[in-house]
Amino acid sequence: MTQAIWEQGYTQNRELSWLAFNARVLAEAEDEAVPLLERLKFLSIFSSNLDEFFMIRVGSLCDMAAVDKAHIDKKSGMTAKEQLRRIYAAVGPLYTRRDAAFADIEQKLCREGLCHIGFAELEPDELKYIKQYFKSVVAPVLSPQIVDAHHPFPHLEGKVPHIAALLGHKKTERLGLLPVPSALPALVFLPGRGGRYMPIETLLYEYADQVFGMYDMLEKTIFCVTRNADINPDDAVFDAGEGDFRKKMEKLLRRRRRMAVVRVELSRPVSEHFTQYFRSRFDVSDHQLFVSRKAPLKMSYAFSLGEHLPEKRRMALSDPPFTPQQPAMLPPGQSLLRAALRQDILLSYPYESMEPFLQMIREAANDPDVLSVRITIYRLARKAKLVEYLCAAAENGKDVTVLIELRARFDEQNNIDWSERLEEAGCKIIYGFEDYKVHAKICLITRKERGAVRHITQVGTGNYNEKTAAQYTDVSLVTADDEIGADAAAFFSNMALGNLEGQYQHLLVAPSGFKRRILSLIDEQIGKGSEGYILLKFNSLTDIDVIERLRQASCADVTVELIIRGICCLKPGVKGHTEHITVTSIVGRFLEHSRIFVFGRGAAEKMYISSADLMTRNTERRVEIACPIHAPAVRARLHDILSAMLRDTAKARVLQPDGSYQRKPTGAEPVCAQELLMQQAVEQAAAQADTHRQPVSRLGRWLRKLLGD
């Protein structure tokens, strides 16, 4: 059956689909309609995305190619080695596009007063400044090294730029290494001429001849390595006494820093002789060597570069500022905790502020009627008010339980640190399960009210991260529904007991019941034939069982509309298989992150929000939650979001049967869903504020009349 699936042509490889997604991110950097500073940020995001792709996905495939040569990808029929070959071939052109985009952006930014300067472009006074800067600031923190019989090759951290120098000495060759110190600023701004700057690695590249002055400089380049970071705590071997999972994770993080190299990036082409140094030292093939001729090897500076422009100029080159608004379903000044006891409330980030949720936790921490607070945490901001409020709740005598996932990739250390802080404050800490990450987003506040116990449950699609709540689109339901509250209480009890097979009346919980119920909901629509309807918004589709069931729905004439930001292993529009399926991807100012599932229309409609994408890792190997939406007002707000996504003609791209993406025809007036939702949020907040002020103004008029004023 598996072979028949890929031969029938309606599925595609996960990794190549992801690269197509990142190409859509790159397309935003290439789009001249996008403000210049935002284009530069998209270029940085594209680069960091690609870094993580090599660290995790390519790293995993390299391991698989070494130990399981016969493994076949279910969706494309390729072995791991064949997938790697296709990946390397697809990545090369992306480097070329990135270089072209960077050169274009750099040239246009220079006209606006931000000029990337090379040594040949320095004026005499600037050269004098650079010489002094190198002598007083840079040289004291440099750690050059020669590699020879007495100086072994050092361990190189992943994604740390180095200068590599091929050196001649008494008819012999040696390799010189000069790491770019992390203590130095990424950019050196030159005095007297506004926004003229030089990247620190450019300065070091130029001064490498002086640093290695006793040798003949034969050849040099800037390079960095990318290491496999696909660590799995369950695959590691530990001492019998290592019972604390937190200590286990700390040891694994140290191991990650020393894993195999999967990519080497160079700032310029080098000779075949010099290339052999990189191949042999890092045990990589030519396919794993990539040259970035224009774009820097690290671009994190892109997010602060605009700060060196006058405010008016910076604003002209950036997206218009937007402040998350007062939630439309929560009147100004009202407590979310109290309001949720009366009606279900939806928060929609980043269009609406996360602050009311945080204040709800703060209020719960100080409410004498609150008995307990329970929450799952996957990713947190570096500075998190949420942690402060949870600690305050525990210190105030509340029963606070925090299920914190220490294996949230690249946030492991941050979560370890927060878990220690929470534990010190008296919170009960749970780390999850050996084989399953806890990715669910749920919070339960239990309080006593008139002799009874009430539950206020929050279920969301995104993390409790105060920083990303202003950058990612997510939705969050707050409800006092007794039955959902009972399910939430059962969920936390099951997590504390290590029970993954718990039964729930309303919540869909992976790994035990989520996938089964999703397939059942699709089956219900298949039974309706051409009257059936499925509308799903999420981030990635890889689960082969879900793909096959959606194909069956299409074959039964069910209309299937999918809004998938990233990976999609299903090809729509394939004759005889997926003709009634459309797939739309939106890449824009905010990262589309919300998961909203709709099955059916009208009174028979069933709607859910979820923490889970329809990927095998989510449906089978993670703890996830989907929550039903019952309140008509909340349903209407979610339909507004989905409608805006489907109407988008500015940022939407439609997946074609051949796996490519095409922009929608824009029409006379392009529609940008995210701009539309921002506008709606501002208008709703303004109308709400007017309504809130109106009784006060009437009272004021009455008082003035009474006092004869």
Nearest alpha carbon to residue 623 among 474, 437, 366: 437
User: How far is it, in rounded angstroms, from Cα 665 to Cα 648?
Assistant: 10
**Omega cis (within 30) before 350:** yes
Contact 671, 646 (CB under 8 A): no
Distance between CA atoms of residues 100 and 104, nearest Å: 6
Spell 565-592 as b/e; 16+ CB within 10 A means b: bbbbbbbbbbeebbebbebbbbbbbbbb
Cα–Cα dist 531/637, whole Å: 24
The answer to whether 346 touches 637, Cβ cutoff 8 Å, is: yes
Given a contact cutoff of 8 angstroms between Cβ atoms, the answer to whether 567 and 541 are in contact is: yes
Q: How far apart are CA 273 and CA 550, in angstroms?
A: 53
- Element (DSSP H or E) covering residue 165: strand 162-169
Output the six-digit token pair for 592.
Answer: 């589309």
| Spacing of C-alpha 149 from chain mean position | 44
Tell me whether residue 580 is one of the annotated catalytic residues: no
**What whole-number distance in Å separates Cα of residue 44 and Cα of residue 302?**
6
Q: Is 498 left (phi over 0), alpha (psi -120 to 50) or beta?
A: left
Q: CB under 8 Å to 256, separation ≥6 — which residues?
A: 227, 229, 231
| Catalytic residue selected from 439, 455, 580, 593 | 439
Q: Tokens for 629, please give them.
A: 């939406």
DSSP 573: T
Distance CA 598, CA 608 (A): 7
DSSP structure class, residue 56: I
Beta bridge partners of 174: 167
How far is it, in rounded angstroms, from Cα 255 to Cα 277? 25
* Residues involved in catalysis: 439
